[in-house]
Structures are given as C-alpha cells and as structure tokens.
Amino acid sequence: MAYDVLFRVEAEGAYASDALHVELGSGVRTDDAALATELTLGVLRWRGLLDFLLERALKKPVARLDLPVAIALRMGLYQIRFLERIPARAAVNESVELVKRARKVSAASLVNAVLRRAAAEADPPPEKFLPAGISTAARLGIVHSHPTWLIERWLARFGEPQVISLLQANNQTPRLSCSLHAKRRDEILDGLRESGLQVEPGHLLKAAFAVHGGSPTRTEAFHRGDISIQDEASQTIPLLLDVQPGDRVLDLCAAPGGKAPTLARNAGKNGLLVAADRQAHRIRAMREGFKRLDLREVRLVELDASKTLPFGIHFNRVLVDAPCSGTGTLSRHPEIRWRLKPEQLGELHDLQVRLLERALNQLAPGGRLVYSTCSLEPEENQDVVAEALGKFPELRRVTASEASPAISAHLAPGVDPGDLFDEAGQFRTVPGVYQTDGFFAAILERK
C-alpha cells in the first residue's frame, strides 16, 4: 500500500494524505494502516537523506533510476535506518520483491546489493558521511532532509538555532488534532476513548483535542458530525474574524471547508455564509462534508476568485485563506518540500494579491477581513498585505491588542495571546512551538 501511494505521489503529483485516504479504506486493519502511513510519510520526509546515503553505493543520482526501483530502495533504507521492529533482512527482501512486482526484475540484484551495504552502514550517524567543506545550508539539508535553497532562506531570516528547531519539527509525526462541533464534550471524548483512541487536550485551544492510536474518521462521533480533523492553528483562523450573529460572511477560498463551520455557527441562523471555491469537485466535497456537520444554510458558489466577483452585496466579514506554498505544513505534507521551486513563490504572491484585492472590494465599511496562509514565506504573507494596504488607503491593520480579545477566551490554559502576534499585529504560529502547523494571518478593517 505504501509503495502504491508513493508511486502516485511521484508519478502523478498526488498528495500523500489524499492517496492514503483512498488506499486505507475501512477494511484495512488499524495496525496495517499505521505501518503504511509511517512508511509513506517517513520516506517522503527523509527522501533527501535517504537519497544521499543510497548514492554512496549507487555512484549515481537516485533520480536517474527507474521510479519503481528508486521507491523500493528508499522504502528499504527507511526501514533499516528508522524502524526498529523490522529486521534489516526483511526490509531488503521486501524491497527486492517490490521491484519484481513492478516488473523490474533486472534491478533486483542492484536493490539487494545496495540495501545490504546500507544495512552494514546503518549505525553511524549521517554526519560521518558528509563531504569536507560543505556549507551550513547543505549540511542541514542533508542531515534534516530539506532542500538547500529553502534552508538558505530560513537561515537568513531566523538564524541557525531556530532553523534547526523548525527542521526537527517538520520531521516529526504531526499531532492528529480535532475540532469539536457539539457541546457534549465529555460524552464525546469518553466515546472516543471507548473506541480505543487515546485523547489528549489541545496545546493552543481549550476546545481542541488530539487523538492517537487509531483514526477518528472511523468513530461514531465523526460520522455524527460531532468532530472533525483539523490542526489547532487552522481552527484559530476563523476566530480572528470575530463573526457575530447576523453577520454576512464570505469564505472566499473555502475548500476543503474546515474553517466554514466556525463561521457558520457564529453567524447563526440570521446570518449569511457564502463559501466559494474555483473547482467543482471541491465544491461537491464541501457539500458532502457540510451535510455530515448539518450545515445546511451555507451557500456554496463555484467561482474564480482572482477575477471580478459576482456578488451584488458587501460582506461585513471576509476570510481569504489563500492557496499558498504550504511551507508551514511540511510535517503533514512532506512531499511539498521536494516539489516547491523558488520561482513559485513569486507566482503565488501575484495570485494572492489578486485574491486579496477582489475580496477587499466586497468588504463593507466597518467590516473586517482576515487574510491567512499556511506558509512561512514573507512573499506570501506580509508582502501581500503591504501591497494591498498601498492600494486601499481606507484600510487599516488591526493591532494585536485589538485582535487578541477575539481568541483569548478560546485559548488553552497558559497560552498568552501576545505570543501569537508579531509587532505588526499579525497572527503567527511556528511548527514545534504548540505542535501546530505554521500559519500566518493579518486582520484588516475598512474605515
């Protein structure tokens, strides 16, 4: 299962989480699903280091191998290096069988020889094999399995200690955080425990919780719409809008729909929530998700938000959760680190500016807009906001002291809202601090 998912990720550009969801249906045993997930995401997180170690024996880049052979080698070495319960002999044999299954029988002896050498070198740390005179960024890139160009950017902004902390967080299995949609908290959590899950309190939000030991999507609470899987920083973003009963709310880039439930419930029956997205299949998926959550009053609209919007009304609350590079989610979506190219940041910036400008044209006087991303990159965050502020002189940026009351009552014990905002009043989370994804949000108001 892990091999098939990894092949789809590499050959088709699929996202691992989506491909795993399809592969790991209800008929798959929990322990098998856990191992397939560990193998898939582990190989993607550590691909850079795995390729570096493999190339010591190959004497050529892994990228020049046939894809089935490269995947089998990475899977075998990942098990040898990172998984204690699988004997090296079994990992080697299984990788050989994978290339045979992929009709690459001629590569079986190569896979066997390379992995046997790798098993013999499994004890020394990878630092032992680094070439002399290697740069700091290249060294960190190999040891922590990230592209060098991305680390160079982060070193320039954060410094080495913070970058190492970020890289380590990106290589950890993320918490499986959940949002709660019903008021029967204790009853719901008890039911999750009875189903075999272990439940932990949220680190950022007091209403949030995390589970491990299984999938919450297989529980009655999930099917009843009582809970959803959602990172805690992502849960915080819609709270920043401070939606009040009766508000007209626009969720402009709504898919996959995780922030809409909070917006809809806060607007209430007398309010209006329009959830828009560009792709029809994502609209259909949101519609099914909203049925599970019993959100029947949300108006779903298919549109291209980079163009003039078709609405004849203004909204007093607007959320622009913009499509972005996702560099704040590299633990959850490790394939992004290998796909993203530096030039894409500029392309994303241009799109994000257009989206924000279109949204601001729909914002009513006195209304509030939240622009957010799950990116750590300035081109996608503060630079987008600064460009928009330059074109809309009637806008102002909401300060941290003004923004914090909207979320203070929701924060977990011990979390200081002041720690979540920078000097410009912008909301930020960094992977590793509260075990959340990295999010950015700026709050703008029309005077």
- pLDDT tens, position by position, 152-163: 999 999 999 999
Q: What would the 3-class secondary structure string for 322-358 be?
A: CCCCCCCCCCCCCCHHHHCCHHHHHHHHHHHHHHHHH
Query: What pLDDT score does 231 carry?
Result: 97
Kindly state the percentage of the chain with pLDDT values over 90: 93
d(CA 360, CA 444): 9
- Please state, rounded to an integer, the average pLDDT across all residues of the chain: 95
- pLDDT tens, position by position, 286-332: 999 999 999 989 999 999 999 999 999 999 999 999 999 999 999 99
Query: What pLDDT score does 123 carry?
Result: 87
Q: Is 324 a catalytic residue?
A: no
Kindly state the percentage of the chain with pLDDT values over 70: 100
CATH fold for domain 2-133: N-utilizing Substance Protein B Homolog; Chain A (1.10.940)
Cα Rg of the chain, angstroms: 23
d(CA 22, CA 13): 15
Domains of the chain, by residue range, sit at 2-133, 176-228, 232-446
Query: What pLDDT score does 30 carry?
Result: 86
What global pTM score does this model have?
0.95
Which CATH architecture group holds 176-228?
2-Layer Sandwich (3.30)
Nearest to 273 by CA among 251, 241, 301, 305: 251
> At 20, is the pLDDT very low, low, confident or very high (cuts 50, 70, 90)?
very high
Contact indicator for 143, 127 with CB cutoff of 8 Å: yes
Please report the DSSP string for 188-230 in residue order.
HHHHHHHTT-EEEE-SSBSS-EEEESS-GGGSHHHHTTSEEE-
Residue range 351-374: mean pLDDT, rounded: 97
> At 182, is the pLDDT very low, low, confident or very high (cuts 50, 70, 90)?
confident
Residue range 256-263: mean pLDDT, rounded: 96
Query: What pLDDT score does 442 carry?
Result: 98
Residue range 350-375: mean pLDDT, rounded: 97
Which of 178, 253, 324, 374 does the annotation list as catalytic?
374
Tell me, what amino acid is at 380? E
Query: What pLDDT score does 25 carry?
Result: 81
Residue range 112-132: mean pLDDT, rounded: 93
Residue 26 above 80 pLDDT?
no
Tell me the CA distances in angstroms from 101 to 22, 32, 89, 273, 363, one per residue in order. Answer: 21, 20, 18, 50, 57
Token duo for residue 115? 């992995």
Residue range 414-424: mean pLDDT, rounded: 95
Query: What pLDDT score does 267 carry?
Result: 97
- pLDDT tens, position by position, 49-96: 999 999 988 989 999 999 999 999 999 999 999 998 899 999 999 999
Tell me the CA distances in angstroms from 429 to 168, 355, 386, one per residue in order. Answer: 16, 23, 20
Query: What pLDDT score does 176 carry?
Result: 95
d(CA 43, CA 245): 47
Query: What pLDDT score does 71 carry?
Result: 97
- pLDDT tens, position by position, 404-413: 999 999 999 9
- pLDDT tens, position by position, 161-170: 999 999 999 9
> At 347, is the pLDDT very low, low, confident or very high (cuts 50, 70, 90)?
very high
d(CA 241, CA 124): 51
CATH class, 232-446 region: alpha beta
Residue 340 above 90 pLDDT?
yes
Query: What pLDDT score does 273 carry?
Result: 98
Residue range 235-247: mean pLDDT, rounded: 97
Kindly report the number of other CB atoms within 10 A of residue 362's CB atom.
19
> At 151, is the pLDDT very low, low, confident or very high (cuts 50, 70, 90)?
very high
89 HSE (CA, 13 A, CB side): 0
